Amino acid sequence: MGVCILYCPKDHAEDLRRIQHDLFDLGGDLCMPEQSQKKKLKILSSQVTWLEKEIDEQNKSLPPLSSFILPGGTSVSSYLHLARTVARRAERSVIALSQETKINEEAIMYLNRLSDYLFVLCRTLNNKSVDDVLWIPGKNQMEVSKK
Protein backbone atom coordinates (compact mmCIF):
# COMPACT_ATOMS: atom_id res chain seq x y z
CA MET A 1 0.00 0.00 0.00
CA GLY A 2 2.89 2.32 0.78
CA VAL A 3 4.28 2.02 -2.75
CA CYS A 4 0.83 2.77 -4.18
CA ILE A 5 0.66 5.90 -2.02
CA LEU A 6 3.97 7.11 -3.46
CA TYR A 7 2.56 7.02 -6.99
CA CYS A 8 -1.03 8.09 -6.24
CA PRO A 9 -2.55 11.55 -6.65
CA LYS A 10 -2.96 13.25 -3.25
CA ASP A 11 -6.72 12.82 -2.94
CA HIS A 12 -6.51 9.07 -3.49
CA ALA A 13 -3.28 8.78 -1.46
CA GLU A 14 -5.19 9.98 1.61
CA ASP A 15 -7.77 7.23 1.05
CA LEU A 16 -4.98 4.67 0.81
CA ARG A 17 -3.48 5.96 4.06
CA ARG A 18 -6.87 5.43 5.68
CA ILE A 19 -6.82 1.87 4.34
CA GLN A 20 -3.34 1.32 5.77
CA HIS A 21 -4.69 2.16 9.21
CA ASP A 22 -7.65 -0.17 8.63
CA LEU A 23 -5.27 -2.98 7.66
CA PHE A 24 -3.40 -2.58 10.92
CA ASP A 25 -6.76 -2.69 12.72
CA LEU A 26 -7.49 -5.87 10.77
CA GLY A 27 -4.19 -7.36 11.93
CA GLY A 28 -5.09 -6.53 15.52
CA ASP A 29 -8.52 -8.05 14.98
CA LEU A 30 -7.13 -11.33 13.65
CA CYS A 31 -4.28 -11.75 16.13
CA MET A 32 -6.66 -12.19 19.07
CA PRO A 33 -9.26 -14.94 19.23
CA GLU A 34 -12.81 -13.67 18.72
CA GLN A 35 -13.88 -14.76 22.20
CA SER A 36 -10.85 -13.21 23.96
CA GLN A 37 -11.58 -10.84 26.84
CA LYS A 38 -8.53 -8.76 25.84
CA LYS A 39 -9.71 -8.11 22.28
CA LYS A 40 -10.06 -4.39 21.64
CA LEU A 41 -9.55 -3.82 17.91
CA LYS A 42 -12.13 -5.09 15.45
CA ILE A 43 -12.93 -4.29 11.86
CA LEU A 44 -16.32 -2.60 11.98
CA SER A 45 -19.13 -2.64 9.45
CA SER A 46 -18.59 1.13 9.05
CA GLN A 47 -15.11 0.44 7.65
CA VAL A 48 -16.61 -1.98 5.10
CA THR A 49 -19.38 0.52 4.29
CA TRP A 50 -16.81 3.26 3.63
CA LEU A 51 -15.13 1.05 1.01
CA GLU A 52 -18.49 0.24 -0.59
CA LYS A 53 -19.41 3.92 -0.83
CA GLU A 54 -16.04 4.74 -2.40
CA ILE A 55 -16.46 1.92 -4.93
CA ASP A 56 -19.92 3.21 -5.89
CA GLU A 57 -18.69 6.80 -6.16
CA GLN A 58 -15.77 5.92 -8.44
CA ASN A 59 -17.86 3.57 -10.57
CA LYS A 60 -20.18 6.46 -11.48
CA SER A 61 -17.51 8.00 -13.73
CA LEU A 62 -16.30 4.74 -15.32
CA PRO A 63 -17.63 3.08 -18.46
CA PRO A 64 -19.10 -0.42 -18.04
CA LEU A 65 -16.65 -3.28 -18.37
CA SER A 66 -16.65 -4.95 -21.78
CA SER A 67 -13.62 -7.18 -21.24
CA PHE A 68 -11.37 -8.50 -18.51
CA ILE A 69 -8.63 -6.03 -17.63
CA LEU A 70 -4.98 -7.02 -17.46
CA PRO A 71 -2.71 -5.44 -14.86
CA GLY A 72 -1.02 -2.39 -16.32
CA GLY A 73 -1.79 0.95 -17.87
CA THR A 74 -0.26 3.58 -15.63
CA SER A 75 2.47 2.94 -13.06
CA VAL A 76 0.16 3.52 -10.13
CA SER A 77 -2.45 1.16 -11.58
CA SER A 78 0.17 -1.55 -11.98
CA TYR A 79 1.06 -1.25 -8.29
CA LEU A 80 -2.62 -1.15 -7.32
CA HIS A 81 -3.25 -4.36 -9.29
CA LEU A 82 -0.43 -5.96 -7.31
CA ALA A 83 -1.95 -4.73 -4.04
CA ARG A 84 -5.32 -6.11 -5.18
CA THR A 85 -3.87 -9.58 -5.69
CA VAL A 86 -2.29 -9.43 -2.23
CA ALA A 87 -5.67 -8.46 -0.76
CA ARG A 88 -7.32 -11.43 -2.53
CA ARG A 89 -4.63 -13.77 -1.20
CA ALA A 90 -5.14 -12.39 2.31
CA GLU A 91 -8.89 -12.91 1.94
CA ARG A 92 -8.35 -16.58 1.06
CA SER A 93 -6.03 -16.98 4.06
CA VAL A 94 -8.53 -15.39 6.43
CA ILE A 95 -11.31 -17.61 5.06
CA ALA A 96 -9.08 -20.64 5.73
CA LEU A 97 -8.45 -19.33 9.26
CA SER A 98 -12.21 -18.92 9.79
CA GLN A 99 -12.62 -22.65 9.18
CA GLU A 100 -10.29 -23.37 12.09
CA THR A 101 -11.35 -20.70 14.59
CA LYS A 102 -14.07 -18.15 15.08
CA ILE A 103 -13.14 -14.77 13.62
CA ASN A 104 -14.85 -11.45 13.03
CA GLU A 105 -16.74 -11.89 9.72
CA GLU A 106 -16.28 -8.18 8.99
CA ALA A 107 -12.58 -8.91 8.46
CA ILE A 108 -13.39 -11.16 5.50
CA MET A 109 -15.88 -8.65 4.15
CA TYR A 110 -13.33 -5.85 4.47
CA LEU A 111 -10.69 -7.74 2.49
CA ASN A 112 -13.23 -8.66 -0.18
CA ARG A 113 -14.38 -5.06 -0.61
CA LEU A 114 -10.78 -3.81 -0.45
CA SER A 115 -9.78 -5.83 -3.49
CA ASP A 116 -12.83 -4.49 -5.35
CA TYR A 117 -11.97 -0.94 -4.27
CA LEU A 118 -8.40 -1.34 -5.53
CA PHE A 119 -9.66 -2.67 -8.88
CA VAL A 120 -11.99 0.31 -9.33
CA LEU A 121 -9.21 2.69 -8.29
CA CYS A 122 -6.96 1.08 -10.94
CA ARG A 123 -9.56 1.89 -13.57
CA THR A 124 -10.05 5.42 -12.23
CA LEU A 125 -6.31 6.14 -12.28
CA ASN A 126 -5.98 4.63 -15.75
CA ASN A 127 -7.39 7.87 -17.11
CA LYS A 128 -10.98 6.89 -16.19
CA SER A 129 -10.41 3.50 -17.87
CA VAL A 130 -9.05 4.91 -21.17
CA ASP A 131 -5.60 3.44 -20.46
CA ASP A 132 -6.87 0.05 -19.24
CA VAL A 133 -5.14 -2.92 -20.82
CA LEU A 134 -7.94 -5.12 -22.14
CA TRP A 135 -7.63 -8.88 -22.44
CA ILE A 136 -8.11 -10.10 -25.99
CA PRO A 137 -9.16 -13.77 -25.79
CA GLY A 138 -6.98 -15.95 -28.03
CA LYS A 139 -4.85 -12.97 -29.12
CA ASN A 140 -1.64 -14.98 -29.37
CA GLN A 141 -3.44 -17.91 -30.96
CA MET A 142 -4.70 -15.61 -33.71
CA GLU A 143 -1.19 -14.21 -34.32
CA VAL A 144 0.30 -17.71 -34.60
CA SER A 145 -2.36 -18.87 -37.05
CA LYS A 146 -1.69 -15.88 -39.34
CA LYS A 147 1.96 -16.89 -39.86
Q: 146, exposed or middle or buried, with CB in 10 Å at 0-12, 13-18, 19+?
A: exposed
pLDDT digits (tens, 9 = 90+) for 92-131: 999 999 999 999 999 999 999 999 999 999 999 988 888 8
pLDDT digits (tens, 9 = 90+) for 114-124: 999 999 999 99
Nearest by Cα to 22 from 46, 4, 6: 46
Domains and CATH numbers, the chain: 2-146 (1.20.1200.10)
Q: List the Cα angle 132/136/137 in 5-degree steps.
A: 140
Q: What is the pLDDT of residue 139?
A: 84
pLDDT reported for residue 147: 59
